[in-house]
Structure 1
């Protein structure tokens, strides 16, 4: 009887320990969207530049590819003076665009990235004639004209250059505030479908979802035939664990931390069914 009581006591104690530990772990699922309020009607240029930096780092998903070598899959534009670099690219004989100045070149590079592809950074097999960069004004990133101007302002200002884009008019700012919650309202709500989650985290900006075509990263058209659900989950949660041959470790290590538990599971299940 004494042995039995000790066994029960030990089991209960162990259960309490595990329960306490799980309460200390971060709980991702069910977090409420964070409010990001910006008074667009009274923006200063400093505010506009700060907005551009935030868009560059977050919604624009620019840092997924634009980062220092060897991790980057695109030029490290944060480490470059984009105004002077733009002048050199406008003078390059391979330039096919219509821009006349730095602001125009940066704008063009976001809206029509294949107008000029930096040598060595083109889509594989294109001989640097096709850019792997998505059109930033179209889904899934879909920055507004005002947000694009803010990014240009940031890229000009970060190296001490004059900002040549104009602040949005109060009318334009009010229109964007009403139409785009990310610019002045609540952060995006948790996705409810796998397709919505893939769009929210701009997965298709780097991976072809319905083929094996190489964009920035490998195509995922038949990923379920190559990896189990556990393998797919690991590639998202710990992308450096297994690196596909021929690709640098460009995927952010904290990518999964931005997702809710449900969003991550929906993406894993969706990709596992692609065979």
Structure 2
């Protein structure tokens, strides 16, 4: 806190400034009107981005990992550490992100959405220790099955899987871009109708606000999809690294937050099966 070398805002800027991966980005701010010098932030979809203008000092896979971690917005405990499954565990019943609680020195994850209303969710609950053990057991099971596979079979399966994901994502992004263009045209048409007197000020204000809100939402979704596409292309370019990942993380005794970030996209946790101690989970891996 008292350091004069590195301030929080400086580190924050370095983690999100694309100049460190070789990109030049301009147009982050624009004037509100030609009549005033006042500037306001522009949505990222309107920035001018030129890739590869200079040598990168941060490699793209590491950059993408950092952006994913920032997007998770995982909050640390009072001691400053981030929970092992923070923002990674989701309720299987309602999709709500599970929150951390502590009782008698043990950490638990629970769906707090069940406290909103009686019919909001039936609730999910599991101890962090139990979930960690289940993840390690599943990782070891996958490792045993995967490493027994023929190398060629693994490679073909990997390529078909990722290329299929890429095609689906590209189609989805194209649909979003088309809808954004439609809203942009709609806003322009609304303005022309107002100028021609076909639309009064009240209706123009209400409709343009609705159009702009939906356009901004789609732009945020598009940006997130473009980030996912970049990550997919990086994985395709690097090749099948799952064998190395699996071999690196077999026979673990404990997980760390870094391992969870590398291996796991998210985990869905169900309600404990009545009459047993079993809690159904579903792990969505990053590989």
TM-score bin, normalised by smaller chain: under 0.3
More strand by proportion, 1 or 2? 2
Return the TM-score normalized by structure 2.
Answer: 0.23
